[in-house]
Amino acid sequence: MKVVIDCDDAAIDLKKVIVGHLSAKGVEVTDLDYLGKKSGAYYPEIGFNLARTIKNGTFERGILICGTGLGMAIIANKVEGVYAGVCHDVFSAERLRKSNNAQVLTMGARVIGPELAKMVVDAWLVSEFQGGGSQPKVDQIRELERKSFHPEG
């Protein structure tokens, strides 16, 4: 699995922890380091950039970290076909994948500590979409998304 990660200035330290954790587990992780390329960038640009790499298929999963995780989730969900959610507990991280088939996990460095963040990431990465009763709901999300992005069609 190819994972991509990025963060804003509020989450640089937590991003380093997660990159190290994933690398130690043998997960192929790429840090987009948008801030390193564009100093002073705000989270909307950073999150949008990562979400577009998910949409174009370069990466299977993405992790975005800001102060709360909320802004990153909002912007990642603005990219058609990309689904993101903020999680600060293991159960929500599992459900984000198993029930919602989300490709992007967001977290808040001001909300979650490094050890719990590692557990949340691990739970999310090993979880897969279960389909079943969630399938019609995810299908409906995709249909409503299509209507939102393409109202004429």
Residue with tokens 């490094």: 114
Determine which one of 5, 54, 66, 76 is catalytic: 66
CA pair distance 137, 9, nearest whole angstrom: 35
Per-residue pLDDT tens digits for 29-62:
999 999 999 999 999 999 999 999 999 999 999 9
Task: Quote the pLDDT of residue 148.
Answer: 94
Domains recognised in the chain with CATH numbers: 2-149 (3.40.1400.10)
Contacts of 7 (CB under 8 A, 6+ apart): 14, 15, 35, 46, 64, 65, 66, 109
pTM of the model as a whole: 0.96
What does each of the 153 residues of the chain score in pLDDT, given as a tens digit? 899 999 999 999 999 999 999 999 999 999 999 999 999 999 999 999 999 999 999 999 999 999 999 999 999 999 999 999 999 999 999 999 999 999 999 999 999 999 999 999 999 999 999 999 999 999 999 999 999 999 986
Share of the chain above pLDDT 90, in %: 98
Task: Quote the pLDDT of residue 1.
Answer: 85
Helix-then-strand count for the chain, H and E: 7, 5
Q: Note if 7 is an active site residue.
A: no
